[in-house]
Every structure is written in structure tokens, then in C-alpha cells.
Amino acid sequence: MPYVPHTEEQTRDMLATIGVASIDDLFADIPKHLRPKSFDLPAGLSEMEVLARMERLAAKNRTDLVSFLGAGFYDHHIPAAVDALASRGEFATAYTPYQPEASQGTLQAIFEYQTAMCRLLEMDAANASVYDGGSALFEAMMMGVRATRRTRLVVSQTLSPIYRIMLDSYTSNLNLELVTVPHKNGATDFAGMMDAVDQATAAVVVQNPDFFGNVADYTELFDHARAVKAVGVMAVYPLMQAVLKTPGAMGADIAVAEGQSLGQPLSFGGPYLGIMACTARMVRQMPGRIVGRTVDSQGRTGYVLTLQAREQHIRRQKATSNICSNQALCALRALIHVSLLGPGGLEQTALRCMELAHYAQDRLTAIPGVSRLGDGPFCNEFAVRLPVPAFEVVDRLTERGFVPGFPLGRYYPGLENCLLVACTEKHTREDIGVMAELLGGLLR
């Protein structure tokens, strides 16, 4: 039997020690009538057979296309050293670091991850991560609810629709009011946001760059939020933070991010990484694991999980959240990724993505009938309006080996002709050129 090491003789010895005649005797507590009605599973396979089957399944996925899909999840290059280091068994096969003396590797790495995230976002404290960007946003909103004891939450429609649906679902039983301020031609409606944030508002949530790729300065909105004692939450694209004005500089109380762009493969939606950081004032409201530095009994530096009085295993139903794990290995990957690139490499990567995206914008908007949706500054992603439904264009170009972007009509009724186009450093100018020519040919 794979992975069960006992010989028959050892099994007999063990049963004899226990004092039972057979393994079945060990299950005597399970009433007979509760035995499975069926357990109709396939027979086991060899390692070779499983791998062959999985390779066949993997080959049924179209990963051979040149894709300009983004929408919050991007195909960036991951240095080989990220995989090599994060796959070390000492990291991968450890549990949550409950025994700190035997887990200094994980703990110091999380401490360094917290530090790196704080510096990237210019925030005071970060937790050890949560599941993904969407659950991080929910937790951030709940921090706002606890800190203000208010129940009104204001979000911009330019916040990822995927996350807005998640927030809607998560808050459905919590007696919270979720107010969505509509976008204005694919950009945040600043006046509308200012009006919506009032004395009853617990938190205001924006995204930068927003779902359409626009970059903006939310300082004024966060100033206003502070004046009415609401909590300001900003979702960001961590790689782009190498060049963008930070949530800290804009006065956000909480910054969250989907950390996928830092060393996580796309992997059809997960595992990803929910980055979460806040100001010093908010730390005790923050859910999840947090690592702190301390000393051992001989005065040497060491690291432990700290502020555990917030957590479910102590506080049970009164905890700040039900979260009892983090995405430790994903956080480790993000830290290794950031360390390998360094501040200069992150900046160069972000700029290369931006350079290519601006080239793509120029090429696409040169096609008759194609125009930019909105006119705000952007980084590596932008939306264009086509003369025909975007879904059709995507279908047709996919047949030619290109996914030109994401059709915004999927989530935004009224924007059926709009396409969201993302570039990363993995694209070439040639990729963009060919895609633009194909699109141009199609629309002619």
C-alpha cells in the first residue's frame, strides 16, 4: 500500500500490543448500520499512471495562447529560485508555527514578509496574510465596522466586480449596508464617493489602479473619510506599488492586495495571497496571524506568533475573525520574489509592463473604430471600446492564437463592447503588434 510502511508482522505486533484481534475491532464504536452504503471509488494507480493522466488533463487546457487577460491577476515572470526555495520540505511540510523554537524559519520569513509589505505599501503593520485579495477586503471592511461601530460601507463600482460579489456574499447575514457608487465612464466618480461617505459610514473602499486600470490619487477622499471618522481602505496591485504613490502616502488606514503578482503562478485561480496592512492605530483590529520579534531566555533574537488574544482559538465566537491560518507558503514565495528582484528590479518590471501597455494602447486606438474608455493615466492595463461586442472579438482572435483581453460586459452591463487589456513583461512588442493587426483586420 503506498505510504503505509508496516510489514504484516509489524501490524500483527501492533494489534497484539493494543490487545485486539483485528483492525476491524478498532472500529467497533461505529454502529453497524452506519457502515458505508457504498464506497465506489476507482482502484489505485501507480505514480506513473497518475502523472500520465494528469498530463493528459493539463494538455486539455489552452495555455498556448498569447493572452492579454489581467483583471487583477497577471502572468508575470517568476524566477526559478522562488520555486526552488519555497518547495523545500522544511517550509512546505511544516504546520502553522505553534512551536516557535522549532519554526524560526517560517516565523522569521513571515516577519520579513510583514516588513517588506509595510515598506512596499508604506503602512505600519501587516499580518501574515489571508486567503486572497477578496477575503482581505472583507476583513478590512470588518475592521472598519469594529473600529467605528457603524454598519454602512461605501465602495466604488470601479472596485473589482469579482470582489464586490464576494463582499456582497460575505456580508449577507451581518446586517451591514453595502453602498456602491457607480463608475463614470469607466473611472471612479470622486464627487459621488465624497457625497456617499458620511457620519454613518464605517469604511470606504477604493482600488488603485482600479478595475479598468486607471490610476488616481485618493488622498482627498481619505481626508474626508478621516474627517467623518470613517476608515479608508485601499486595494492595490503590489507589483505596481514599486512606482505608484502608496496607500500610506494617500492616508489609507488599511491597505489590502491580491499578492498573486508577487511570485504566485496563475494556477486557475489559486492558491493566491491576501496581503493586509494597516496603520499602528488599527493593529489590534487586524485579524489573522501576526509575527512579532522578541528574545529567548538567553537574550537572543527570535520570533513568535503574537497578539493571539484577538484570535479564534482563544476568543472563540468573539474573535476578530474565524481565520486561523494564513497563506504562509504563498507569503514566503512573495517575499522570495521581492528579495530576488529588489526595489530596482520591481520598479524595472513595473515600468516594462507600463511601457508595453502604453504601446498596446497606441496600437489599438490607431485602429479605426477603437477608442480608449476614459482618458485617465494607467499602468499596465486599460480598457478600449470596440465597434462590436468584445466577446465576439475575443472568440475570433482566440482562434488565431490570441486572447486580446477580458470582455467587460461579463461584469458591467452596458460595456459589452469594451475590452480590458493587460500587458506584462512577458509580452513582446511583436506580440502586441500581431494582436493589433489581427484585431484591425477583424474590424475592417
Scanning residues 149 to 168, which ones bind another protein (CB under 8 A)?
162-163, 165-166, 168
Cell of 267: 494556477
The partner residues of 184 in beta bridges, in order of sequence, read: 187
How do strand 254-258 and strand 402-403 relate by DSSP bridges? unpaired
For another protein, give the closer residue by CB, 138 or 150: 138
For another protein, give the closer residue by CB, 101 or 195: 101
Within 361-420, which residues bind another protein (CB under 8 A)?
377-379, 391-392, 394-395, 398, 403, 406-407, 410
Within 175-194, which residues bind another protein (CB under 8 A)?
175
Tell me if 263 sits within 8 A of 324, measured CB to CB.
no
C-beta neighbour count of 153 within 10 angstroms: 24
Tell me if 266 sits within 8 A of 72, measured CB to CB.
no
In angstroms, the CA 442 to CA 305 distance is 57
Cell of 163: 470582489
Q: Is 430 in the site for another protein (CB under 8 A)?
A: no
Tell me if 248 sits within 8 A of 267, measured CB to CB.
no
Size of the site for another protein (CB under 8 A): 204
Q: Is 324 in the site for another protein (CB under 8 A)?
A: yes
- Our CA angle for 116, 119, 124, nearest 5°, is 105
Within 217-256, which residues bind another protein (CB under 8 A)?
217, 241-246, 249
For another protein, give the closer residue by CB, 117 or 181: 117
For another protein, give the closer residue by CB, 228 or 292: 292
Q: Which of 159, 261, 138 is nearest to 210 (CA)?
A: 159
Choices 151-159, 178-186, 229-237, 335-343 (CB under 8 A): range interacting with another protein: 335-343
Within 278-317, which residues bind another protein (CB under 8 A)?
283, 289-298, 300, 302-304, 306-309, 311-317
Q: Which of 192, 345, 401, 440 is close enough to bind another protein by CB under 8 A?
A: 345
Choices 180-188, 221-229, 352-360, 432-440 (CB under 8 A): range interacting with another protein: 352-360
Within 33-92, which residues bind another protein (CB under 8 A)?
33-47, 50-51, 53-63, 65, 67, 69, 71-73, 75, 79, 81, 83-85, 87-92
Judged by DSSP in three states, 266 sits in coil
CB of 129 to another protein, least distance (A): 8
Cell of 55: 498530463
- Our CA angle for 157, 321, 149, nearest 5°, is 65
For another protein, give the closer residue by CB, 228 or 266: 266
Q: Which of 179, 194, 196, 351 is close enough to bind another protein by CB under 8 A?
A: 351
Q: Which residues contact 5 (CB under 8 A, 6 or more apart)?
A: none
In degrees rounded to 5, what are phi and psi of residue 410? -55, -40
Choices 101-109, 225-233, 427-435, 436-444 (CB under 8 A): range interacting with another protein: 101-109
In degrees rounded to 5, what are phi and psi of residue 433? -60, -45
